[in-house]
Every structure is written in C-alpha cells, then in structure tokens.
Structure 1
Amino acid sequence: MQEENKNISLPYFGIPKILPFAKKYKYRIIAMILMGLFSSLVDSCYPLFNQYALNHYVGENTLDTLGLFIALYIGILIVQVSLNFISVFWVSKTELDLNRDLRNTSFNHLQELSFAYFNQNNVGYIHARVMSDSGKIGELMSWRMMDVVWNGSYILFVMINMVRISWRLACMVFVLVPFAIFIIAFFQKRLVKLNRHIRELNSQITSDFNEGITGARSIKTMVIESIIGDGFQKDTETMRHVSVQAARYQAFFYSTVTMMSSIALAIVMWQGGNLTVNNMMLIGTLSVFMSYALGIMDPLHSVITTISSLVSIQVNIERFDRLVNTESDVADSPEVIEKYGDTFNPKKENWEPLIGDVAFKNVDFKYPDGDEMVLENFNLDVPHGTNVAIVGETGAGKSTLVNLVCRFFEPTKGQVLIDGRDARERSQLWLHSNIGYVLQTPHLFSGTVRDNLR
C-alpha cells in the first residue's frame, strides 16, 4: 500500500510546514511583496492619467503642461517596467531556489530510508513526490504568493479610487462582486476536484510507464504485452476523458468571467453615460470607471483561483511532508551518530578497522510488508577469511542473510554481530563502506565507465 492512501490533513493548508524552507529567503520575499504592492498601486493609477488627459487636454481644449504630463507618464512607466523586471527575476529565482532546496531535502532523505520503503512505494510515486510536489510548492511560495499580493492590492486600490471618484457608481459595480465571487468559486471547486483526479491519473500513468520499461524482460517472457498495453491505454483514455471535462468547465468559467466584466461595463456605460450627458460627470471620469469595470474581474478571478488552488497544493505539501518525515526502519541511534557521524557527515577519524567476523545469534526475521517469518532462531558463525556458500531453494532466505549482514533490514529478534559487536552499535555508512556487495543483476548508472567506477 502506498503512502498516499493515508489520509492526513495539515492545518492552515500545510503552509507552516514550508515556512522553514522559505525563511532563508525572507528578505527577498519581503522585497518582492513591497514591489508587488507598489506595482499594483501604479497600475491602478494609469486610468487616472487617461482621466486627466481627457478632462484637461480634450475637455478644456488646451495643451499646457503637456510636456510635464508626458515626462511624468514616461517616468512612471520606466519605474514600472524596472520593478516588473526585478520582480519577475526575483520571483523566478526564489521559485528555483525553493525547488532546489525541497528536492535536495527529499532526495537526501530518500538515501537514508531502508529498502522497506522502496518495496512499499513504486518508482513513479516516489518520482512524483520529489519532482512534481516540490515544483508545486515552489510555485506556491513564489508566483502564487505574488498573484495574491498584486491582484489583492490592485482590487483594493481600484475600489478606493472608484469610491473616491463616484461612490454611487462604484456601489453599482460592487453589487456584482459577490455574484462574481460565487460563480468563480462554484467553477473553481469543480476544477480543483477534476485537476486533483488528473494528477492522480498522471502519477498512475507514470508508474505504469516506468514498470513497463523496467519490467520489459518479464513482460516479454510471460507474453503479456497486450494485457499491459490494454491497461495503459485504459488509464490514458480515462485521463483524456477527465481532462476534457476539466477543459469544458474551464471554458464555461472564463466565458462567465468575461460576461461579468461585460455586465459591469454595461452598468457603467448606462449610468455613467446618463451622468455624462447631463453634465454631472466628465468624459474622463467615465473612462476611468470603464477601465476599472473591465479590469477588476480578472484580478478577482486570479485571487479566488489562487486561494482555491491552496486546497489542491495542500495535497502536495502533505505528501512532501510525509516523505521527509518518514522514519527509516533501519536507523542509527543518536549515540552512534554522535560518535561515527551520519550518511552525509561521517566522522571517519572514529571508525575502527573491520576484521570481518560475522555471527547470527538467535535471529528471527520477517519483512516489514510481510507476515511470514523468513528466519526463526537462526544461528551462524562465519570467522573472517572464511568462504561460505549458502545453498537453498528460492525463498529459503539466502538473500535475506546478506541483507541482514549489510543492515539493509534489521532482525525482528536477535542480533547480527560484526567483529563481536552488534551491528547497530556502529553506523550504517561504516558498515557499507567496508562491504563489497555484488548485485545479482548489475546496474549501470548513466554516464561513462569512469563515472560508474567512482
């Protein structure tokens, strides 16, 4: 059974679990937020330039202060472009840095897990945790966060400007906001559910694809190509069907948002047009409201989409947290780590030389994912320099003995002694560094022969 079947929910969408990774970039993130706030403030003021130009230069038929107006506009535009460039660069860098940190943390932790974890979780599942989940979390702490900051502050600044200019007309537009929120949330809830299903199917397809390649020899030997192919085709067809459903909801979703923007614009043109005809509102002011009415729905949609995606990304955070907090079935004690170091920080100056005496003392063993005892009250002494051949039928426990000596698994009961001491009294890295393990099926890593010899 894979770990994703465990139903664990983290509070606050799991964000507190990610904050330690973001802490080292806190000053950069604060600067990003401040630039996002200033950028949205400037963006919300652009329609005010149009208002001034229409009311002053067109309405009063004059060109005085035009040079100053153009210089100010260009100056603000240059500042805005510069801020956007720096913001995009920092946000991208933060995303990539977080992705690197998250993937390094998860990959390094995988190196410390025992064989039992890899027996219970297939390669496709583990690959998705290290790559896909880390990418989603990095995106949340960079682009998604900036979406909320920029769009949320933009909506606030726009509403302040609208109320300041004409609170009556602003209230007419604001009436649509609750309906827009309801409609967007309605579609978004279904889209999140469909997208979650799509990701689950994608993980399954990745797993099937990997097993189809790594198990190619067995598949051909057993002549089950058609069975494996039919299963893979069924999964891909299911994913296509669900993806089409999601695309259909997405199409309705964006059409509805566009319709709400059009309704807001129609209200502004209807009421604002009457006010303009009756000389109660200037044409420039009407232009500002038209720009705001068209522009407020997209940021609203973006904010709700980001908030809704937190439910989806929470799953990624839970899976990542579950991975990095998975305890190995085979782990060195704190006392052993203090003396000998761990896998990535060895204290080789404290390592004793290996003599080579091996002994099994009253060993019982069963695999973590099994119920049947493989060894019961097993005893064996192998002095150093002795050649021993273990002979037996398949499943008798020959490989198990080697795995226990190498400490890939811990005995259920009893002791495995190395040079007269319990193997658990010294570090795994010390033991593995002194053992030559020949695989039944050789594995070559990608790269050159020299790379493999390292």
Structure 2
Amino acid sequence: MSQASQQKESSSGLSVYFRLLGYLRSSWLTFVISVLGFLMYSVMEPALAALLKHIVDVVSNGLMSENRVTIPLAILGIFLVRGVGTFLGSYFMAIIANKVVYDLRTTMFDKLVLLPSSYYNEMPSGRLLSKLTYDTEQVIGSVTSAVKTLLREGFTVIGLLGYMLYTNWKLSLLFLLIIPIIGYVVSYASKRFRKLSKRIQNAMGGVSDVASESIKGQEVVKIFGGFEYERQRFREAADDNRRTQLKMELTKALNIPVVQFLVAIALAILIWLALDPTLSAQMSAGDFVAFIGAAGMLSKPARQLTDVNSILQKGIAAAQSIFEFIDMTEEPDNGKRALSQAQGNIEWRNLSFQYPNTDRLALDGVNLSVPAGKTLALVGRSGGGKSTLANLIPRLYEVTDGELLIDGHDIRDYPLRTLRSQIALVNQNIVLFNGTIRDNIAYGYLRDAPEETVIEAAKAANAWEFIQQLELGLDTVVGENGVLLSGGQRQRIAIARAILKNAPILILDEATSALDTESERAIQQALDTLMKNRTTIAIAHRLSTIENADVIAVVDNGVIVESGSHKVLLEQNGAYASLHQKQFSEE
C-alpha cells in the first residue's frame, strides 16, 4: 500500500471515529461526570508515587512514630478516591455507550424501512441482521472500553510523566525517547486490526446468511435432505470467521508483549542512567525510589493503551459499515400534490421498467388504462411482468421511462405516504407479523380501528368462523409469518386487512391461490363485494376468477399482447383465447 493511501485510510478512520463520537453530544453532562471520575482515578497514581517518596524519606530520617497515623490514612484516602473515580467513570461511560448503540440501532432501523425494494432484493436478510446486531456490538467496545481506557490510562500516563518531569526532567526526557518507537508499533498494528475487523464482519454476515436461510427453509431442508449441504455451508462460513478471528488474536497477542518489552528496555536504560551519580546527585533516596516507582507504574497504562487499539479498530471498522448503511439513498419522495381521496383512474403511458443491475427490460412501452371503479385483470405466463406492472402503482420501484398516472397526475407528484394510503394489497406471498390476529388485521394506519370494524372485516373475508374457534380469538398469536395458521387462514387474514383499509385502489396478486375450492368461492364473493366501486388490479392464474373483469390484459415478456373484455378476447381467438382453451382442457 502506498504512503498516500495509508494516510487516506488513517484520515478516513479518524473521521469515522469522530463521527461516532458525535453521538455523545446528547449525553455531554454524563460524559463530563465520567471524565471527572477517570481524572480522580488518574490523579491518585502520581499521588501514590509521592506517598512512596514520603514513606522512604520518613524511614530514612527516622520519623516513623510521627507518621504512624497519617501514612495509613493517606493510603486509605488514595484508594477511596480511586474507587469513587473508577465507579463514576465506568458506570457513566456505560450509560453513554448503551445510549450510543440505541441511537445507532434506531437510526439504522429508520433507514432500513425507507430503503427502496431493490436493496432488499440484493442484500441477504442475514447480512442486514448482522449489521443491526454484531456491528453495533463492536461499536460498544470502541465507545466504552476504548474511551474509558484512553481517558483513564491516558490521564494516568500524563500524571506520572508530569511527576517524573517534576522530580528529574533530564532522566524523564531520556525515557520519552522510546515513545516514537512504541507509536510506530501501534500504528502498524492499527492498520492490520482494521483490515481483519472488516474481514470478521463479512464472515459474521456469511454465518448469519446461512443460518437465516436454513431457519426459514427448514421444511425444504428436511424434506429434500439438505442437511449435509447446509451443514457444510455453515461450517465453511464459521471456519472462515474462526480463522480471521485467530489472525486478529495473533496480532493482538504479539502487539502487547512487544510494547511491554520496549517499555522494559526504556525502564532498564532509565535505571542504568539513574544510578549515574551525575544525573541523580540532587535526588534524595525518596525521590529516587519514587521516580523509579512512577516509571514502573507507566508499564501498566502503556500496555493497556496499546491493548485498546484492537478494540478501537474493531469499532472503527464496524462504525464504517454502519455509516455506509446510514448514508444510503432512501426511496425518492419529492411529491407535493395533495391526495386526500383518490378517484382511482390509472394509466400506464408508454411505460418501460428495468430492474436494477439487470440488462433487460421487465416492461417495454406499456400503454394501458383502467377507469375509476373498474377492474383490470392481468394474465399471462409467469415472469411476463404482471406483478411488476402492479408493484409500480405504490412505487415499490421507480419507473425507468414513461409515466404512470393516477387521476391524471404522475405518481411521483404525490408524497409516498399519501399515495400508499390510497392502496390496499393482497399478494400471493402472505406477510403476517409475530403478533395477534387483531394486530395483523388492524395493521399500520389501521391500528386504532374499533374492534367491531375488525370483526366485520374478518367476517367479510370469511375468516371470523375459524377465528372464533381459537381459544383466544382475535388475541391469538400467529407466530413468525403466521406459521401457526394454515395457508388458507393466513390468506383470509391478509384479505381482512385489505377489506379493513377500505382503499380506493385494490391490488390482488393471486389473492385466492392458497385456498381450497369451497373457501375460494366464499372469498371470491367477499372480494366481489370489496371490488365494487374500487379500481382493482387483479393478477390471476386461474382465468375463471377474472372473467367478469372490465378489462383483461395479456402480458408477455413485458409487453401488452392484447387487451379487452373476456368476450371480446375470446372472439379475437388470440393469446387469451389460447390460454383459456388450454386451462379449460386441463380442468
């Protein structure tokens, strides 16, 4: 690595750490108390050296009887002040560290929910969880242990060096010559620590990824015999993490004894020089013992100051990862046009769309419209672009080219919160949260809905019957992603949520896919009622469910092949008629 790049990396690390310390501003009073505590502790170190001088002088001059009470009391006083200082410094620093981690985690989560959908598609969930948990834990060390050691041991070194300079400045200056060599060793170790810390973070992300996938897909793993494969993947990820961690420990283990040996060399040279009568002629026996004692006391804080380097570099590497995440671009939300109640006119005008990091258009020159209160059904082969057309309406993705209009205005003119409040969604991948059935129906904007309206929505979705049979009814906890409910029950809960929202625009993406025939009929009746006077975008595989749609559009390879009513499309004997005939034959 060139000198310029090394300086740039060092500067970058400092700027990241100073930004991290910026989170201390809200706790400045707590920080001041902590600093005062460490100052109290540190002042007592040179006080011990001074007391040692006094004891030697007392013994040398035969004044033991006059000092039998004062010296023990002084010792007790020094250790009492040290103890109080340690408590104040450590406890209040822990308060600050936990507040910093809380602020970082909440800031990261706030960012997480505002990131575009494309980010979630590219980033494994395990890696995201690793950022929220492991990376923030590393920051705790750099804010508590590192700052605590830097303050406490830093003040101690300053106090002891000050006392040594006061006692014999010539010998002290000779002792200080070793500091640049120690600085070079610490600087070299810093670069290696940060580099290894980044590798450990990536390795931890890999461990989280494999574990998360295996937990979510445990049924597939069991049924398809993926145990050996997943075990091998996890062991490889864990072994990578283990080896990188060992390299970190090796560097740390070598760093500490090297610095200690350098301090020991300095101390040995110091004693050799101090025994020269020309340099210690003006020193009493007490001065000499206290000076050597203070120099010996420097070994412990010097060792701890170098030991803290690994924790500090871990924290900087973690903070760098966290700040890169926090600085990511959110969903664009520059709309200013008010939209209290949408009519529901939707138009795709010469619209094209391409997913990020792909080289092919998912939608190409789409022109399509659906009047307010009418139903548009999207049909066609899987991967043709049906769901993409629907997902652009709530701006889960941004239009690449062309326009998507609601009530005659580009959807980008509306604020995201306002736009999405006008849309209800039921898709094939049902999402339920680990709460009660009530929480999942009355979710988000709906959380303050009265119980009567929640029950009405459940009845309309044909869900109230099975909810009543549960011991706790609406207060039944559904488990992570509704794992304690059947597929059909989960789907009905999602439909009840959409019914409760009562939005003017409704998106149904295979909304009855997880239901048996009997339930499907009942749900279809509920959906027919829900769809009245609402603009509905229905994506369906079974064409029998959308025959009454006002407009049916056949989507294939991102292009609208044909559109019209069920009757008109059958008469055209084109793509829709072919799909209908094929499905009718299969049934």
Please report the TM-score for the alignment, with normalisation by the length of structure 1.
0.82
Matches within 5 A, 1:270-285: 284-285=286-287
CA RMSD of aligned residues (A): 3.3
Deviation at 1:220, TM superposition (A): 5.4
User: Counterpart of 2:333?
Assistant: 332
Write out per-residue CA displacement over residues 162-207 of structure 1, whole angstroms, 9 at most, x where no aligned residue: 1222345445544444444444444554444334322321222222
Q: 1:388 aligns with which of 347, 355, 376?
A: 376
Q: Which amino acid aligns with 1:360?
A: W
Q: Which amino acid aligns with 1:335?
A: K
Larger Rg: 2
Write out per-residue CA displacement over residues 125-176 of structure 1, whole angstroms, 9 at most, x where no aligned residue: 2223333333444543444233223222221221121122234544554444
For the residues of structure 1 that align with 2:163 and 2:374, how far apart are their CA atoms? Answer: 87
1:370 corresponds to 2:371: no
Judging changes above 3 Å, is the alpha-carbon distance between structure 1 residues 228 and 249 closer, same or farther for their aligned structure 2 residues? same
Q: Which moved more, 1:65-74 or 1:420-429?
A: 65-74
Q: Which amino acid aligns with 2:380?
A: G
Q: Across the two proteins, how many residue pairs are aligned to each other?
A: 432
Q: Which amino acid aligns with 2:351?
A: V
- Where does structure 2 lack aligned partners over 5 or more consecutive residues? 1-7, 444-587
Q: Which amino acid aligns with 2:421?
A: S
- Where does structure 1 lack aligned partners over 5 or more consecutive residues? 1-6, 340-350
User: Counterpart of 1:444?
Assistant: 432
For the residues of structure 2 that align with 1:176 and 1:387, how far apart are their CA atoms? Answer: 82
Judging changes above 3 Å, is the alpha-carbon distance between structure 1 residues 414 and 218 closer, same or farther for their aligned structure 2 residues? farther
| Higher helix fraction (1 or 2) | 1
For the residues of structure 2 that align with 1:326 and 1:183, how far apart are their CA atoms? Answer: 36
| C-alpha contact (below 8 Å) 1:185/1:304 kept by paired residues | no
User: Counterpart of 1:342?
Assistant: none
Task: Give percent identity, aligned residues only.
Answer: 22
Q: Which amino acid aligns with 1:230?
A: Q
| C-alpha contact (below 8 Å) 1:13/1:311 kept by paired residues | no
Q: Which moved more, 1:109-118 or 1:257-266?
A: 257-266
For the residues of structure 2 that align with 1:334 and 1:296, how far apart are their CA atoms? Answer: 62
Deviation at 1:359, TM superposition (A): 2.5
User: Counterpart of 1:345?
Assistant: none
For the residues of structure 1 that align with 2:94 and 2:220, how far apart are their CA atoms? Answer: 44
Q: 1:405 aligns with which of 382, 387, 393?
A: 393
Matches within 5 A, 1:42-57: 42-57=44-59
Deviation at 1:21, TM superposition (A): 2.9
User: Counterpart of 1:348?
Assistant: none
| C-alpha contact (below 8 Å) 1:272/1:281 kept by paired residues | no
User: Counterpart of 1:89?
Assistant: 91
| C-alpha contact (below 8 Å) 1:356/1:418 kept by paired residues | yes
User: Counterpart of 2:419?
Assistant: 431
Deviation at 1:314, TM superposition (A): 3.7
Judging changes above 3 Å, is the alpha-carbon distance between structure 1 residues 291 and 127 closer, same or farther for their aligned structure 2 residues? farther
Please report the TM-score for the alignment, with normalisation by the length of structure 2.
0.65
1:419 corresponds to 2:407: yes
Deviation at 1:286, TM superposition (A): 4.5
1:99 corresponds to 2:101: yes
User: Counterpart of 1:212?
Assistant: 214
The 3-state SS of whatever aligns with 2:365 is: strand
For the residues of structure 2 that align with 1:425 and 1:182, how far apart are their CA atoms? Answer: 57
User: Counterpart of 2:117?
Assistant: 115
User: Counterpart of 1:3?
Assistant: none
Matches within 5 A, 1:13-412: 13-18=15-20, 20-57=22-59, 59-171=61-173, 173-217=175-219, 219=221, 223-264=225-266, 266-267=268-269, 284-306=286-308, 312-328=314-330, 330-333=331-334, 335=336, 352-412=340-400
| C-alpha contact (below 8 Å) 1:264/1:294 kept by paired residues | no
Write out per-residue CA displacement over residues 50-97 of structure 1, whole angstroms, 9 at most, x where no aligned residue: 221232156524221443444444334333322322222211111111
Deviation at 1:369, TM superposition (A): 2.6
The 3-state SS of whatever aligns with 1:388 is: strand
Judging changes above 3 Å, is the alpha-carbon distance between structure 1 residues 396 and 218 closer, same or farther for their aligned structure 2 residues? farther
The 3-state SS of whatever aligns with 2:392 is: helix
The 3-state SS of whatever aligns with 1:144 is: helix
For the residues of structure 1 that align with 2:313 and 2:250, how far apart are their CA atoms? Answer: 21
The 3-state SS of whatever aligns with 2:361 is: coil
Q: Which moved more, 1:246-255 or 1:105-114?
A: 246-255
Q: Which amino acid aligns with 1:140?
A: S
For the residues of structure 1 that align with 2:179 and 2:275, how far apart are their CA atoms? Answer: 21
Deviation at 1:365, TM superposition (A): 0.9
For the residues of structure 2 that align with 1:377 and 1:227, how far apart are their CA atoms? Answer: 44
Q: Which amino acid aligns with 1:432?
A: R
Q: Which amino acid aligns with 2:379?
A: V
For the residues of structure 1 that align with 2:152 and 2:371, how far apart are their CA atoms? Answer: 71
Deviation at 1:305, TM superposition (A): 4.7
For the residues of structure 1 that align with 2:347 and 2:218, how far apart are their CA atoms? Answer: 39
For the residues of structure 1 that align with 2:336 and 2:22, how far apart are their CA atoms? Answer: 27
Write out per-residue CA displacement over residues 425-449 of structure 1, whole angstroms, 9 at most, x where no aligned residue: 2222223333222232323323443
Deviation at 1:310, TM superposition (A): 5.2
Q: Which amino acid aligns with 1:80?
A: R
| C-alpha contact (below 8 Å) 1:212/1:228 kept by paired residues | yes
